A and B are shown apart, each in its own frame.
Chain A
Amino acid sequence: MSLRIRVLEKETIDQIIDEALGVLQDPGVRIHNGEALELLAQAEAQVDREARVAKIPEKLVRWAFDQAPSDFDLYTLTGEPACHYGGDAVQFDPGSAALTILDSESAQQRPPVTSDFVTFVKLVEMLPQLDAQSTAMVCSDVPEEIGDLYRLYLALNYMSKPIVTGAFGKDTWWIMKEMLEVAVGGSAKLTSKPVAIFDVCPSPPLLWSDLTCQNLIDCARTGIPSELVSMPLAGATAPVTLAGAVVQHTAESMSGVLISQLAQEGAPIVWGGSPAAFDMREGTTPMGDVGTWLIDCAYVEVGKALGMPTHTYLGMSDAKVVDAQCGLESAGGTIMAALAGVNMITGAGMLDFESCQSLEKLVIDAEIIGMTKRLIAGVEIREQPIALSLMRAMGHRGEYLGHPHTMQWFRKELYFPSQILDRGSLGSWKSKGGKTAFERARDEVRSLVGKYEPSGLDPEVRDELRRITGSAANKYGMEKLPALPHE
């Protein structure tokens, strides 16, 4: 029986939805995007163009949920279904858009460069626990203006798994779309078998910036899936009560679903988010906080009640190095999100709120994810009777280890950790150098990256991707792109 948790009563979910609908009617949503305001006005929302506020009637929101698909798939670069958005499917991708990397040798944060992200993409390919790639770092060796598309360029050269990404500009979104089309072989293929999903983030409270709103509309119109990332900050930019923060999340996300469906009925869109419970001592946004876990689980339940595919940012840590805090926070968030049945859980590898990626943390998190996937599969009854006839046959002999019954079931029943978890004796641990989990993770990174096999991307496609990226770089004063690391 697979394990699931519930954090909200059915009546509470209904009330949260009702109150969010009330929020959309008054005070409504502020939208700094003319096209979205126009769409809403045409759909008979009450739009104040000067104040850029749309007051949205309930029936319009209800209409949008009737249009939005309840599920869809992401595909590998070669067109195999890989991630299912919808139902209680639970999948994982790394935390995205880190501004620093935790250096493997010095264990200090520094800005990432091309070779760092290439290694990262290879590592994600080699970790079966991770279901998708993400544009996880912003490389510091290219102009800021192409930071978003350059990540996608690098990933496309080395990945096979689908990718969770996002644009930092209105124009760069179109370049990223072109790159994706080149990689899969045309716009029709990109729509019928999408390999990428774009994060689009409303700003708390109840605000859509011009950029993200345009990304949302463009995704919908071109059939590329998008993932709403509403991020109420409980006690700072949202009500401090956890349920109150969920009301705000629901209202913001409802407005996102509506804008997307007005742009294109039936556009694939995900009920996602990255809320946090504000830290009242430090004034920070802790992603590893227990309140954050609860808000996330609660909004996911609301999304499921509305028939939406779901996403959340969990499994991250606010620690600055890979230490006990890091393990505690990452494991807690990962387990909670999986028990809530979130379709895509983003966060593996991430430290220091959402700002630092670590290769070592990524392989440790992959271990947490592996255990968590086993956890939610629960306790299964493999045969009838469960053990009575076996135990009668064995009597008082403890000879189960090589028994056919053990042989038949042990690989299905048990979880086998990698070298990340040390379960040997003290002597054997000492004889292997007495290494900490971080040191073992560093060894594992080297070993896995060393086993990476180049993706079978067509050389002509590689050239075309380089041409597109190169011309964007030229525009922002970079003559020649950094060389790709030799494979």
Chain B
Amino acid sequence: MVTDPLEDIREALINGDQNGIVELTRNALQDGIEPMTIVNAALTVGMQSVGDRFSAGEFFLPELVAAGVTMQKAMSILEPELQARQEEVQRAGTVVIGTVKGDIHEIGKSLVATLLSCNGFKVYDVGVDVPTETFVAKAVETGADLLGLSALLTTTMTMQRQVIEALGKAGLRDRVKVMVGGAPVSGEWAKSIGADGYAEDAMAAVRLAKRLVQ
């Protein structure tokens, strides 16, 4: 049976087959398929399908995250090839994301990071308990369009305001949009600290990010 190598890569991505996708991607390159074709016709289409299935209630978070990890495995093989051809994947935007100083809650922030990455953003996840100056420095270093600040505690959510103020002092506030999230955070809170937006959950964060970078 002759199979379509792009179809196989798409399937591996949808199934979260992290080992399988590496081999399939290598084989496809050896067969002379252009890396950009693999990105556009297999990976992007596959991620779209995973997202659709999640929205339809058919897929759950593990499948979403596994697809993200699987995509990154494929990209790690494709990126050197793209660079060699002086090609670059079209990005929706560049995001620096992390949990603010004093707060070690990880899962919500990581989920948003994964979903943003699945949706075409270049994501720099700076982790948890992140000092304000690290957020600013990373935004400068990466030329970020967007900063995502997570806080799960009422005692640490005030750090979100501090980061926004620091961005202003560094003269970045016009260039970098800020979105905030976390259990105690609300739309009103976001407005009061001068953030550009607040998202209720990870899927809403993706919609918000797309809107903010437009």
Contact = CB atoms under 8 A, between A and B. Distances in A.
A108 interface: no
30 contacts: A398-B106, A398-B107, A399-B110, A401-B61, A401-B65, A401-B107, A401-B110, A401-B111, A402-B16, A402-B62, A402-B64, A402-B66, A402-B68, A403-B62, A403-B66, A404-B18, A404-B66, A406-B66, A407-B62, A407-B63, A410-B60, A410-B62, A416-B60, A425-B200, A425-B201, A427-B186, A427-B200, A428-B200, A428-B201, A431-B200
A424 B202 CA distance: 12
Contact of B114 (A398, A402, A410): A402
B67 to A, nearest CB: 8
A126 to B, nearest CB: 15
Interface string A383-425: 0000000000000001101111011001100001000000011
Interface in B84-121: 106-107, 110-111, 114
Nearest to B15: A407
Contact of A407 (B66, B68, B114): B66
Interface string B199-214: 0110010000000000
Given A403-B66, A425-B183, A427-B200, 9 more contacts: A401-B62, A401-B65, A402-B67, A403-B62, A404-B16, A410-B62, A428-B200, A428-B204, A431-B200
A402 B63 CA distance: 7
A425 B62 CA distance: 19
B200 A402 contact: no
Q: Which 7 A-B pairs have the closest CB atoms?
A: A402-B65, A402-B66, A427-B200, A401-B65, A406-B62, A402-B69, A428-B200
A428 B114 CA distance: 20
Nearest to A397: B106
A350 to B, nearest CB: 28
Interface string B177-203: 000000100100000000000001100
A407 B14 CA distance: 12
B116 to A, nearest CB: 15
Interface of B: 16, 18, 60-69, 106-107, 110-111, 114, 183, 186, 200-201, 204
Contacts, number: 43
Nearest to A402: B65
Contacts of B204: 428
B6 to A, nearest CB: 23
Contact of B16 (A407, A411, A416, A424): A407
A327 B142 CA distance: 54
A403 B64 CA distance: 11
A402 B204 CA distance: 20
Contacts of A428: 200-201, 204
A401 B204 CA distance: 19
Contacts of B201: 424-425, 428
A82 B93 CA distance: 54
A233 B60 CA distance: 48
A416 B54 CA distance: 13
A416 B60 CA distance: 10
Interface centre among B62, B67, B201 (most CB of A within 10 A): B62
Interface centre among A398, A402, A427 (most CB of B within 10 A): A402
A411 B15 CA distance: 14
Contacts of A431: 200
B78 to A, nearest CB: 20
Nearest to A416: B60
Nearest to B65: A402
A406 B183 CA distance: 25
A372 B23 CA distance: 43
Contacts of A402: 16, 62, 64-69, 114
Nearest to B114: A402
Contacts of B107: 398, 401
Contacts of B66: 402-404, 406-407
A399 B128 CA distance: 14
Interface centre among B60, B110, B114, B204 (most CB of A within 10 A): B60
Contacts of A404: 16, 18, 66
Contacts of B114: 402
Contacts of A406: 62, 66
A413 to B, nearest CB: 11
A404 B69 CA distance: 10
Contacts of A427: 186, 200
A399 B110 CA distance: 9
A458 B186 CA distance: 58
Nearest to A411: B60
Contacts of B16: 402, 404, 407
A173 to B, nearest CB: 44
A401 B106 CA distance: 12
A406 B61 CA distance: 10
Interface string A423-465: 0110110010000000000000000000000000000000000
Contacts of A410: 60, 62
Contacts of A407: 16, 62-63, 66
A416 B16 CA distance: 20
A403 B65 CA distance: 8
B18 to A, nearest CB: 7
A429 B69 CA distance: 30
Nearest to A405: B62
Contacts of B67: 402
B17 to A, nearest CB: 9
Contacts of B106: 398
Contacts of A398: 106-107
B34 to A, nearest CB: 28
Nearest to B66: A402
A407 B201 CA distance: 22
